[in-house]
Each structure stands twice: as C-alpha cells, then as structure tokens.
Amino acid sequence: MEVNQAKQEHLLALKVMRLTKPTLFTNLPVTCEDRDLPGDLFGQLMREDPSTIKGAEALMLGEMLTLPQNFGNIFLGETFSSYISVHNDSSQVVKDILVKADLQTSSQRLNLSASNSAVAELKPECCIDDVIHHEVKEIGTHILVCAVSYTTQYGEKLYFRKFFKFQVLKPLDVKTKFYNAETDEVFLEAQIQNITTSPMFMEKVSLEPSMMYNVTELNTVADGDDGESTFGKMSYLQPMDTRQYLYCLKPKPEYAEKAGVIKGVTVIGKLDIVWKTNLGERGRLQTSQLQRMAPGYGDIRLSLEMIPDTVNLEDPFDIICKITNCSERTMDLMLEMCNTRSIHWCGVSGRQLGKLSPGAFLSLPLILLSSVQGLQSISGLRLTDTFLKRTYEYDDIAQVCVVCPYTNNEC
C-alpha cells in the first residue's frame, strides 16, 4: 500500500519494488478421449503451447517462470528485500541527491540504507539504484519510509517522501509441552504447524539448551551408523499440517549433583527453526526462552538409580535408591520398609541412615522380592526425619515385570 504526501511537481521520480523469487507457471490442461468429438484437437493445442512441458503436456506445472503480480505476503523470519530507484525525469542536472530508506515497526525505526552519503549529481535520464534487505523479526504493521532530498541547478533544496505499508504475518504456530521424568531428565515436545498457504521444506528444527543442560534429539530412528528421520527423507510440511518433535534434556555433570539448583531451574532453552519455501526462499525463527514449571519434590526426593526390567517370581532382586535432601536444613533420616500384598522387603526395617546435609544425597542398595506375577508397583518405603518427627511415605516408586521362571505353567 502506497501513501503519498501532498502533490508537488518534482524533478526526480521514486520507484520502489519488492524483490521476490518467481513462481512456476501453471496452466489448466483440457483433455478428452480420442473418440470424443474434438478428437486430438486439445492435445495438439497443448503440444503447441510453449508453456507446457514436452512429453508431459497434461501436467499443470510448466517450464516457464511467472514474475510476481502483486506485493504478496511477508512472513515473520523471512528476509524482506526491496529495489529502490530514483530517476531524473527532467532536463536539468540535479545535485546533492540523498536517498534514505527507513523501516518503521510497532516498536522501533530501522535505517536500511546501504549508504548515507549524498550523490554529487544526477544527469537527465539517469538513475540511482539501491537494494535493501531486512530480516523481519516482528509481526504486525510495517511502514517502509523512502525519503529523497536534492538541490536543483538554481540552488533550490527540495524534499519528498513516500510511504509503503504492509503486514507481516506469522508463518508457524509453535506449542510446547514439558514432561519431568523421575530422574532429573526433562522431555520437551514441540508441535509445529504450518499456517501459511504453501508447503514448507523443514531444513532444521533444533533445541538450543540453557547452560545447565545437554540435549538429545529423539527425532531419528537408529539404522546402523546413520539415523533416519522419523518424518522420512522428504521433510515437507503441507499447509495446516502439524509435526511433533521430541527432545530429552539432561543436567550437565557439574549441575547434576546439585539438587537444589536443578530443582529451581525453569529456563530450558529455545527452539531454532529454519525452513524454505518457493524456489528456496529461506525463513528462520527463534523462539524466546522456553520455561517450565519447576517440579515440586518436597523436602526429600526418592528416585531409583538401578532397577531390573524383569525379575523372577519369588526370587530376591536388587535395586538402588537415591535419597536427596531438597530442603535447606540438615535431616537425620530413618528408613522403614513396609510389605504390601505383592512386594516383600528383605532386611531390617527402622534402621538409621544418618544425617543428610542440604543438597546432599546418598545411594541406598535394597533387596526385595515379589510373590505375584505380572507388572508390579514397588511401594512401601517410609522415611522419617527424627529432628522434626516428620514422616514421608513413598508409593508407586517404580514398576517391575515379574515372570515365572518355570515352563509348562507350573507357577
């Protein structure tokens, strides 16, 4: 959209054109069977059409390119390019020509001119050309302000401006979900939807973690040395289609042992998304820092460092529990083991574990057995802080598969 100031005769003419890549020419093929009345007439006309592909005349896409007929859409993350030309339409020599291009957004005004120095003179029928580029980082209304100042041969200084208003649209809809594992791992699910009207080639979707985490992408299927993408070889995202990307974040070793620090971490990282559209036009988006709700572990956190996947019925098996003091005070802990209908603990219940400082942890090996087959839940642990006489009970700590070691259904 162009908005002009009050009409005034000027010696110079300003032309502004957006630079975009062309599109493939499309036509609408009309065909019929040979026994129909037109016979081979339609086929002959398509073969003579220079825009069709020889040997594939019925294909809608042709070999020619079409120049853009309008301003088109501009999406967030794309690069806005514009060609600016100032032409001397008069018969006079114009001096001290200064062309300035600014981009006004809702929050700032940016100078896009390649040079801020004036051109000494411009002869009749000559022009000054410039190409400006800007990576669009805001959505909403943008105004390109082009200003031209010059001096006539009689010393009169003149000035005029033109305004070009356009909207920047959002190309992708990004939604995220966080899942806190029993360990300090965090799983991030990112749902990315193409809300434009044209397909996208997803070149890269990666997660840049915060300084406390390492990230592992879970979007490939292991196949030998090279992993194949779960989305296949052709990574296209059709209009209104959605893809789900999964990432696993683990605390770095220097932070993993600091329970209080990891507990309070809410900033996880940011997504970096790169895509291509018509004839390789690239776009890029980076989200703001993604934040999760800090998990509430309470004063004491109990997790499992080691547990077998499958155990035999009525056979003792070992597990290793990790007990972490997430509070800001020292605790004196006592462990009680309570049997359930299917889980039976081996060892002395009610034993003292000793003092545990704030942020410290201890690894505790335990032995138990199951008297019932199937998927069984490990429950029945109880910790008591003898300083405050406060008790913490832990049920459904983990699950284990119990199988019968005998054959012929003897269990």
The torsion angles phi and psi of 279, rounded to 5 degrees, stand at: 50, 35
pLDDT in tens, the chain (411 residues): 444 445 668 889 999 988 888 777 777 777 777 777 777 777 777 777 777 777 666 666 667 777 777 777 889 999 999 999 999 988 889 999 999 999 999 889 999 987 778 888 889 999 999 999 999 999 999 999 999 999 988 888 999 999 999 999 999 999 999 887 766 788 999 999 999 988 899 999 999 998 888 999 988 887 655 667 888 777 888 999 999 999 998 888 877 666 555 656 678 899 999 999 877 888 999 999 888 776 666 788 888 888 998 999 999 999 999 888 878 889 999 999 999 999 999 999 999 999 998 878 899 999 999 999 999 999 999 999 998 888 988 888 888 999 988 754 444
Residue 134 CB coordination number (10 Å): 17
Closest CA to 290 of 229, 213, 218: 213
- In this prediction, residue 264 carries a pLDDT of 60
Which residues neighbour 101 within 8 Å (Cβ) at sequence distance 6 or greater?
82, 84, 111, 112, 113, 130, 132, 144, 145, 146, 147
Helix (H, G, I), strand (E, B) or coil at 52: coil
- In this prediction, residue 225 carries a pLDDT of 54
- In this prediction, residue 1 carries a pLDDT of 46
Strands 267-276 and 282-286 turn out to be: antiparallel
272 vs 205: CA distance, rounded Å? 6
The torsion angles phi and psi of 44, rounded to 5 degrees, stand at: -65, -40
- In this prediction, residue 259 carries a pLDDT of 55
159 vs 12: CA distance, rounded Å? 10
Q: Cα angle vertex 91, ends 89, 94, to 5°? A: 75
17 vs 239: CA distance, rounded Å? 28
The pair of structure tokens assigned to 79 is 């690069």
* Domains of the chain in sequence order: 12-20+70-169 (2.60.40.10), 172-222+230-294 (2.60.40.1230), 300-403 (2.60.40.10)
Q: What is the 3 state secondary structure string of 89-145?
A: CCCCCEEEEEEEEEEECCCCEEECCCCCCCEEEECCCCEEEEEEEEECCCCEEEEEE
pTM for the model stands at 0.66
- In this prediction, residue 7 carries a pLDDT of 60
- In this prediction, residue 260 carries a pLDDT of 53
What is the separation of C-alpha 116 from the centre of its chain, rounded to a whole number of angstroms?
37
Q: What is the DSSP letter of 372?
A: S
CB 74 within 8 A of CB 171: no
Strands 200-209 and 236-237 turn out to be: antiparallel
Which residues neighbour 153 within 8 Å (Cβ) at sequence distance 6 or greater?
92, 93, 94, 95
Which residues neighbour 337 within 8 Å (Cβ) at sequence distance 6 or greater?
345, 347, 349, 366, 380, 381, 382
- In this prediction, residue 265 carries a pLDDT of 66
The pair of structure tokens assigned to 253 is 């070793």
- In this prediction, residue 298 carries a pLDDT of 74
- In this prediction, residue 361 carries a pLDDT of 87
